[in-house]
A and B are shown apart, each in its own frame.
Chain A
Amino acid sequence: MFHDDRTLRTVAERLGTALNNATPEQLMQLQDGVRRQFLHEGITFTVIGKEEVTEQIIPIDCVPRVLTASEWDHIDQGLRQRLRAINLFLKDIYHEGWSLRDGIVPYELVLGCPQYRMEMLGTKVPHDIYVSVCGTDIVRTRDGFAVLEDNLRVPSGVSYMLACRAAIKQAMPRLYRAHNVREVLPYPGQLYSQLASLVTWTQSPRIAVLTPGRYNSAYYEHAFLAGEMGAELVEGRDLVVHDGLVYMRTVTGLKKVDVIYRRVDDDFLDPVTFRNDSLLGVPGLFHAYRVGNVVIANAPGTGVADDKALYAYVPDLIRYFLSEEPILSNVETYLCRTTEGLTYTLENLDKLVVKEVGGSGGYGMLVGPHASAKEKKDFAERLRTDPSNFISQPTLALSRAPCFIDGKVVPRHVDVRPFVLQGRKETWIAPGGLCRVALRQGSLVVNSSQGGGCKDLWVINEEERNS
């Protein structure tokens, strides 16, 4: 919202002036209104504690973050390029494996990745689209926008993006209208279209959202998306495979399902093929997928490409598969699996952020500058014991955005997770994203499970701004 010299950027002038002119009471009212809206609509996530399961609303900040259309278009192009390369890479590793043979990515990194699925070897994936829904975390540093990580398995948070937008529209309708903000609300319709486009055998496919159930922390999102798409919200126990076809149990008998938008991890999809103790999956589902009778999005085995160690190779993959230079850069990453990477990480632990390669949700990481001596010592021990399980990155000077906290407008670190949808012929990116905020002063961790919140992100066409 501000330049380095703390003057308002042109794109944020109107919003900044409105916030400047508002009294703390008015802002408080605005914030309360937005929070009440979340509570009223039951926009919650589930927290499973030791003794009880509680329901919480995600903390939401009422001050939108703004980006210009040209900034967004740069991100948009970068994400399209990245997803194309990732889909080609996934096809490659489950078929010919040229990128491995040519030494672009080390064999052991792919074959040793827990998310690599041998079962997918040689499997024909509809239209070679392994990743239909992608949520990529992007940060802004002094050098511009950079990708922090790709979420390719079951990226979540899109419902909060849509809920934030709906709440902000209600809370500040005039200001919103005055800014000619690009619209994110077509997301569910686009998701439906892109998923439906993957089916070739019928014009009107039956789509189901497969959820682990209501105790899953993202259950609200699963139900929301199913409702908004007009799809069925199913659990594993609602589906059955018979003669290689997938059916769901309805009050009038079993009905065939054509597309499964799964929000269940690979491990739990099918107890016959993957973990045999899974109660969430559907026995025989993978067989139905292999013989081409159902589309599963995202395809099993895509998690190998969102491994944090493999992330370091994505720019090389873009060059290899597309013969293009990456539009969005990566954050500098040191692989602890290499001797140099491990040595550097151990020597600079107090300056680095160290992450588990398969971790998520802000768990299993160490933020060096904020860690105690004991935490650093313990982490160094873990690094030495199992170096290949970790990567490290420099502590970034993440951009900050104004947030209304405890009656004052204060700066907090933010990132953004845009959502990319890949259909048979088209790629669609919601012009906005889940803007996550580290609500604690000085914190760089934006995950909701670690005290993070969210805010709306406005992509504004400067030249088209309403006068």
Chain B
Amino acid sequence: MMLARAAGDFYWMGRYFERAEHTARLLDYHLAHLVDTPADVLARGWQLLYAALAQPPPISPTETGDAEAFLVPDAFALAAHLIEDTENPDAIIQSWTKARDNAKQLRPWLPVRVWTCLNDGFLWLRDCDFTEYWAQGPNRLPAGVVDRLRHLSGVVEARMSRDNAWRFLELGRFVERLQLQTALLRAWSNPSNKNSQVWAGLLEVCAAYEAYCRTCSMVIQPRQALAFLIANPEVSRSLSFATRSVQVLLSDIDPAGGRYPRRAPHRRALRLAGAIETNLHASAEIADTQEFLGDFAEECRTLHDLIIAEYIDYPLEQGLPS
């Protein structure tokens, strides 16, 4: 038995952690390549990065139409904005704080080790000196965040029972991953984005570079890379993998909901899987894929709403014992 509010808290905690890790991975990659990347590619990278995070940048090149604007502020300020700026609701520290706030309400359900790992990570991030880390290497801090989140994932894997608490946590992670990855692919799938180094970066960020080289080619083809990150079920950050995970988790949470007549979230997850299949066979141009990703993002948002309405914030009459 799982309290609906607690399920909601687990779900959101999963989402916040995925969000923090996603931002940290993007930053880790981007900051690690500050040294040997031409300035214009770097500026383009910041643009893509902010577009992928669907966050308004602290400077607004989109408003001015001035791509060069990203060359003016230094990387330090932008990284600080994404990591530790308490005014930025999507900064990593904010995601971690919100996840910890949720975890505080979940103490009765959380194994002690999971809580202490999460709490220690939070205290580390809150108290760390960003400038000092930067001096050691610009990507040291986001890389540290990624490491700590992976450590936390490991503790969760090892300590949590595979009950509904764990399932909702994972469900949150994968729904968030679907939305973030869709936004990321959408940002990259701009037809003007033809620089193979930038595409290699995308594969790297998605932990799929080696797999791509092994499976497809050492030469990065934008269309092929995009298809790879959408439809390859073996890549953990592909849309296909995340969709399949959501389907499995929903079936485990509510086995009856997966049988005919299927409940709304199950139907929507099935639709997402179908859409990926269709797109795979359509061998679309990048511009078409961008349109597909726009529709897909909308479907993901609906999936989230349906999960909340079905399991967390349902009308009372729906829950009364028959």
List residues of A whose CB falls within 8 A of some B CB: 39-42, 214, 219-220, 223-224, 226-227, 231-235, 237-238, 240, 242, 247-256
Contacts and interface: CB of A to CB of B under 8 A. Distances in A.
A223 B168 CA distance: 19
B105 A253 contact: no
Nearest to A231: B108
B30 to A, nearest CB: 33
B188 interface: no
Given A251-B164, A253-B320, A224 B2 contact: no
Given A251-B7, A254-B321, A223 B107 contact: yes
B291 interface: no
Nearest to A253: B319
A250 B116 contact: no
B5 A41 contact: no
A418 to B, nearest CB: 25
30 contacts: A40-B119, A41-B116, A42-B116, A42-B119, A214-B101, A219-B104, A220-B107, A223-B104, A224-B107, A226-B107, A227-B109, A232-B108, A233-B105, A234-B5, A247-B320, A249-B4, A250-B319, A251-B2, A251-B3, A251-B4, A251-B168, A251-B254, A251-B311, A251-B312, A252-B254, A253-B318, A253-B321, A254-B320, A254-B321, A255-B1
Contacts of B164: 251
A41 B321 contact: no
Interface string B1-19: 1111111000000000000
B207 interface: no
B115 A249 contact: no
Contact of A237 (B5, B7, B119): B5
Contact of B115 (A39, A42, A237): A42
List the 5 closest A-B pairs by CB distance, nearest first. Answer: A227-B108, A223-B107, A253-B319, A226-B108, A254-B319
Contacts of B314: 249
Interface of B: 1-7, 101, 104-105, 107-109, 112, 115-116, 119-120, 123, 164, 168, 253-254, 311-312, 314, 316, 318-321
Nearest to B320: A254
Contacts of B109: 227
A42 B123 CA distance: 10
Contacts of A40: 116, 119-120
A214 B120 contact: no
Contacts of A232: 3, 108
Given A224-B107, A232-B108, A233-B108, A249 B101 contact: no
B115 A41 contact: yes
A84 to B, nearest CB: 32
Contacts of A238: 3-5
Nearest to A211: B105
A235 B3 CA distance: 11
Contacts of A251: 2-4, 7, 164, 168, 253-254, 311-312
A242 B320 contact: yes
Given A249-B319, A251-B164, A253-B319, A41 B119 contact: yes
B75 to A, nearest CB: 31
Nearest to A40: B116
Contact of A250 (B4, B104, B112): B4
Nearest to B5: A238
The prevalent SS among residues of B at the interface is helix
A254 B164 CA distance: 16
Contacts of B123: 39
A214 B116 contact: no
Given A214-B104, A226-B108, A249-B4, 19 more contacts: A39-B123, A40-B120, A41-B112, A41-B116, A220-B107, A233-B6, A233-B107, A235-B5, A237-B5, A238-B3, A242-B320, A247-B320, A249-B5, A251-B4, A251-B7, A251-B253, A254-B316, A254-B321, A255-B1
B316 to A, nearest CB: 6
Nearest to A209: B108
Contacts of A224: 107
A254 B316 CA distance: 8
A234 B320 CA distance: 18
B112 to A, nearest CB: 7
A235 B106 CA distance: 12
A250 B1 contact: yes
Nearest to A238: B5
Contacts of B115: 41-42
A41 B112 CA distance: 8
A108 B116 CA distance: 51
A250 B2 contact: yes
A232 B115 CA distance: 18
A219 B101 CA distance: 12
Contacts of B320: 242, 247, 253-254
A41 B321 CA distance: 39
A231 B1 CA distance: 11
A158 to B, nearest CB: 15
A226 B168 CA distance: 20
B3 A214 contact: no
Given A41-B119, A254-B316, A254-B321, A223 B3 contact: no
Contacts of B107: 220, 223-224, 226-227, 233
Contacts of B316: 240, 242, 249, 254
B70 to A, nearest CB: 34
Nearest to B2: A251
Contacts of B1: 250, 252, 255
Contacts of B116: 40-42
A52 B316 CA distance: 35
Nearest to A206: B1
A233 to B, nearest CB: 5
A39 B105 CA distance: 17
Residue among A223, A231, A240, A247 with the highest chain B CB neighbour number at 10 A = A223
Contacts of B311: 251
Contacts of A42: 104, 115-116, 119
Nearest to B322: A253
B124 to A, nearest CB: 11
A90 B160 CA distance: 45
Residue among A214, A231, A234, A251 with the highest chain B CB neighbour number at 10 A = A251
Nearest to A39: B123
A249 B311 CA distance: 10
